[in-house]
Chains A and B, each alone.
Chain A
């Protein structure tokens, strides 16, 4: 619909990933790295959606499956599967497994619709809003809710 170029004022860049048939946007400023699927070391007794830990250049990073977290089918690992390394705060990186990384888009804040967080819908709290890009819709992830909030329940 509107322009997808950087409008200068309040627009953000998002990495678009897919999970099943839904597109999710992840604010690029928190993405540290994107790596291919690799061997994950299982951690016993961890939350079910945590697949384990991986080694990224000598740093040990826990990896969670967004699919399991969102209550979707378990991941089907294939050539397109990627792990996004997210750094919300320094010294605390976390990896999230996604089906595919598609592209980087710029969405201005005008094109982001807030989601009515009426229901106690668990999944709704993971979203910061819905962004319109071209003729597609991108669910923008609220990373801190995805990563941190659930940990409290898990304990």
Chain B
């Protein structure tokens, strides 16, 4: 079967499952007894296995299968969750992730078998089950619990109930088994709804609700989601676990109005036979009472698996909110109305009042295009969650690796950012978090000595502020030791003693962002190679953002990242240099000043102006941009004051054209792009204006 067309879906869904596994495992580590979590983990692992199998990724399937084995034992209460197990499971997840990465790049899972993880899993499984058996004598039969080998995956247990036509996966079977042991019953119900019924989904919902009061619904056909969406005919089937009798169930169901009939039969689960390892490979279980026409276990298993994979998971790869699409649709229809307005005006052109109407239509059009633009922008926005949700796991690993206790607190995961920013921001944030964990937080003993809580805290806060999104990475560790940096910088020859003496604390902290500067005394695995902060800074600046550091010695440090809400469309000030037009992003402009030429002063033979107590260096744009046309020296200079962080600079321009909303376009990869140009835009008349990158100018 050619499955390549499903590859994308597979990758997306696998990513989702891995993420959810990561999250749930983190919870499980803290609350080993949390049943919901175990169930959730099991479900994810099971779906993963099914998906990998369908796609023909045998190694991935095998690994997930072994993970699932362990999980299913935990789920059945035959094993306890131990720290070691969680570690191995995490390792398994990492291995799965590397399979996935390899699949993403080459559509092949690679050749790594990860035998050690599988062995570990099986060992834990054996030990766990044995330990439990020794503990609990009544679980005697479990010793013969077959260790299903890899070959058995394809023939994983599942069976078909002929009458109800519901295939039960093995975990569901186990639940049925358990219920029966506890003296309950498992019923297979087929509910028929009256043909005249209009709201079938609503009726079905009432039936579900009524049944859920009696017990647990473990399976339904079609899937619950389909039933809710009314994707079924007049009947549907469910498997109910309850302690009530058949007649009681029947009464409850028929008590719901517009229900025509209900068929109920009890599912009797066969006792698990004791089998040796080889027999287990072809383990078949048939429902004695029902399935005369015994299905091939293999095909039944496949059917069950397909069911699992076809389960409509919330597909996050379609990241557009339906509401946003509706908005777009509305605007487009308004656009059509506006167009029709213009067309009708065209036909009645002779009338004298057409000019006024024309302007009116243009205003209308303008309003629509502005709204349309905003809506499209919103479609591009993605919650930052998709980036930060992998951090808790990372902090957990770091905590183990560094042997420091720490906790990550995140807020504002739903803050939205432009797609392009989201894709790029992950690495810088990771760097900062690692820094916080490694350099920021003190060791546990040190923290105790200082009277701080033993467990260090790292905070990741995201929020919107005006046209920017701010992401703060904070820790309550030791803060940045300015003196230490100063000494280091002098040792390294980055600055001289005299320079150091003249520098403010802020300037010294900025040294951290220089390439190859690290204050960590010991270079560790985690950080300290000095390739962190300068990379972070460059990355953020290419995204049009800025980074700022605040620190209080022995209280902690705070890295504040500011990012533009969107990259694609910005407000800009258009200026003229000679006959060329340039755009300066409005976000970085402080003020615009007219300064007389004679007010220019010289500091170290550089031009500066003194403005409201600030000494601002001047940048002659026409010089650094090689504008050849000679501009007339006037008595007055038009100066656009721009800021980058706390630094100000004055850009000397010939003329101001005005404010304009511009669409940023790339100028292509072939042309050598000096850093001063961040892109280009097309003006109303088709002319191109280059966009200046203030960050690299200042």
Contact = CB atoms under 8 A, between A and B. Distances in A.
A155 interface: yes
Interface string A43-66: 111110010011100111110100
A39 interface: yes
Contact of A45 (B626, B665, B688, B689): B626
A92 interface: yes
Interface string B545-583: 000000000000000000000000000000000001000
A47 B671 CA distance: 7
A148 interface: yes
Interface in A80-125: 92-94
A66 B680 CA distance: 23
A50 B672 contact: yes
A53 B670 contact: no
A127 to B, nearest CB: 19
A75 B230 CA distance: 70
A43 B686 contact: no
A154 interface: yes
A62 B668 CA distance: 7
A94 B674 CA distance: 18
Nearest to B621: A44
B682 interface: yes
Given A41-B687, A41-B689, A53-B688, A154 B672 contact: yes
Interface in B649-697: 665-674, 676-677, 680, 682, 686-690
A93 B672 contact: no
A151 B580 contact: no
Given A41-B680, A60-B682, A61-B668, A46 B688 contact: no
Given A43-B690, A44-B677, A92 B668 contact: yes
A62 B626 contact: no
B625 interface: yes
A36 interface: no
Contacts of B686: 55
Contact of B677 (A43, A59, A147): A43
Contacts of A55: 682, 686-688
A44 B668 contact: no
Contacts of A44: 624-627, 674, 676-677, 690
A58 B536 CA distance: 33
Contacts of A46: 671-674
Contacts of B687: 39, 41, 55
B665 A60 contact: yes
Contacts of A61: 668
Contacts of A62: 667-668, 670-671
Interface in B596-640: 624-627
A94 B667 CA distance: 10
- Judged by DSSP, the binding face of B is loop
B667 A60 contact: yes
Interface string B99-133: 00000000000000000000000000000000000
Contact of B680 (A50, A60, A94): A60
Interface in B431-451: none
In this complex, which of B624, B669, B688, B690 has the most chain A Cβ atoms within 10 angstroms of its Cβ?
A: B688
Given A44-B677, A45-B626, A54 B688 contact: yes
Nearest to B663: A58
Interface string A16-48: 000000000000000000000001011111110
Nearest to B580: A42
Interface residues of B, number: 24
B578 to A, nearest CB: 10
Interface residues of A, number: 26
A113 B671 CA distance: 32
A144 B85 CA distance: 55
A42 B690 CA distance: 9
A54 B690 CA distance: 11
Given A39-B687, A41-B580, A55-B688, A60 B674 contact: no
A147 B580 CA distance: 26
Contacts of A58: 682
Nearest to B665: A60
A41 B676 CA distance: 15
A24 B672 CA distance: 25
A73 B420 CA distance: 43
A44 B627 CA distance: 8
B663 to A, nearest CB: 9
A97 to B, nearest CB: 14
A39 B682 CA distance: 13
A92 B671 CA distance: 11
Contacts of A45: 625-626, 672, 674, 676-677
Contacts of B677: 43-45
B666 A151 contact: no
A45 to B, nearest CB: 3
B680 A53 contact: yes
A43 B677 CA distance: 8
Given A41-B680, A43-B677, A55-B682, A151 B688 contact: no
A58 B688 CA distance: 10
Contacts of A154: 672
Contacts of B673: 43, 46
Contact of A43 (B624, B627, B667): B667
A119 B588 CA distance: 52
Question: Which of B666, B667, B673 has the most A CB atoms < 10 Å from its CB?
Answer: B667
A54 B689 CA distance: 10
Contacts of A47: 671-672
B636 to A, nearest CB: 25
B572 to A, nearest CB: 16
Interface in A139-155: 147-148, 151, 154-155
A41 B690 contact: yes
A58 B687 CA distance: 10
A73 B690 CA distance: 28
Contacts of A42: 580
B624 to A, nearest CB: 8
B688 A92 contact: no
A84 to B, nearest CB: 14
23 contacts: A41-B580, A41-B690, A43-B671, A43-B673, A43-B677, A43-B690, A44-B625, A44-B626, A45-B625, A47-B671, A47-B672, A53-B671, A53-B690, A55-B682, A58-B682, A60-B667, A60-B688, A64-B671, A92-B669, A147-B670, A148-B670, A154-B672, A155-B672
Interface of B: 580, 624-627, 665-674, 676-677, 680, 682, 686-690
Interface of A: 39, 41-47, 50, 53-55, 58-62, 64, 92-94, 147-148, 151, 154-155
Which 6 residue pairs spanning A and B have beta carbons closest together?
A: A45-B674, A62-B671, A41-B688, A44-B625, A62-B668, A60-B665
